[in-house]
Amino acid sequence: MTKPPTTARAAAAPPCTSGRLADGREIVFYDESPRARRVIADTRDLPPVTGHSEIRYDPLLDEWVALAAHRQARTFLPPADRCPLCPSGPGRATEIPAPDYDVVVFENRFPAFGGELGRCEVVCFSSDHTTSFSRLSPERVRLIVDVWADRTVRLAAHTGVEQVFCFENRGAEIGVTLDHPHGQIYGYPFLTPRTRRQLDSAHRHRDRTGRNLFADVLAAERDAAVRVVAETAHWTAFVPTAARWPVEVHLYPHRGAPDLPALTSDERDDLATLYLDLLARLDALHGDAAGPLPYMACWHQAPVHTDRDLARLHLEIFSVRRAPGRLKYLAGSESGMGVFINDTLPEQVAARLREIGPTAARDAPRSAP
């Protein structure tokens, strides 16, 4: 992983305690402040994880596909009192063997792939079942950024991992199977199609212009300004000119960092503030009657071994909700041919998000997810 510049404040690794669950999976507790080392004791009688995944090659699209039939048996939208991501309590042991926690990461019991085929982890953002990422404190979000960075370093060190992907899915419309505020981290054993295509474009752009494609995209959006949603000293959030989704915002650091571990302490502080502002604006976009916005938040990082000089860190956050009560479905053109047809204009979405403003977004009532 790339080191931050020596002239900037390097970010320290967050305090953590690592242990094992009853079936041998790793679990790591991350705390906002230093504390006595946790004692991790999972008292459950769990059978060994036996799920088997395959990765098969599609020669027509030159892509890999993961097959994980054991995921059919994973937990699906349990009631709050049976949530496996809540802390353990008297008479009820969960995936988290502790009465409270700040942020916890553990190996997924129902991974899309694992073992020699990469690694899949769950990241619990809070012990509070009723909260959401947008309602966390800046201090908690800053810790989560540090956790993403730390897990990126650790997963990248695993043999066979080629790309580390941190992401969050929120909302039933997206297809989440657990309501508790959480995200996931995948250590892919291959370069994903989306990343490979972006890097191919970056190669052609550099050969043609001698410049970095991602830097030029950011510069063009900042110069045009019409699609910029918000800016800080270190970051810019904008709706891309060719947005595919009804609501889509990209978040770029001004400095060309390849991945989350490369962010300085100041950049991480700034990110925590802007990310909360952006999520609050998104939740307020369709009004409180529509409820919190369902979204996917996806961090694009440089691959572990390939084209790290070309790739640039950035976040893509998007929603399938095109209006209150109306969703964007991937129909024939999108699913069959890969050609997106967007019903909203990027400039109008950006203008609306700017109009909401940080104060209005912060003060807007928010429903539980």
Residue 86 in marked binding region: yes
Number of other CB atoms surrounding residue 309 within 10 Å: 11
User: Catalytic pick from 52, 158, 182, 250?
Assistant: 182
Spell out the residues 6+ positions from residue 363 whose beta carbon is closer than 8 angstroms to its own: none
182 is catalytic: yes
Residue 83 in marked binding region: yes
Residue 180 in marked binding region: yes
Question: Per-residue DSSP letters for 292-324?
Answer: SPPEEEEEE---SSS-TTT---EEEEEESEEET
* Pairing relationship of beta strands 103-107 and 54-58 according to DSSP bridges: unpaired
Number of other CB atoms surrounding residue 316 within 10 Å: 19
Q: How far is CA 168 from CA 160, 297, 310, in A?
A: 24, 5, 25
d(CA 348, CA 239): 10
Residue 27: burial class (beta carbons within 10 Å; 0-12, 13-18, 19+): buried
d(CA 78, CA 118): 28
Q: What is the CA radius of gyration of the chain?
A: 20
d(CA 267, CA 288): 31
Provide the 8-state DSSP code for 352: H
Residue 158 in marked binding region: no
Residues with active-site annotation? 182
Annotated binding site for Zn(2+): 83, 86, 129, 180
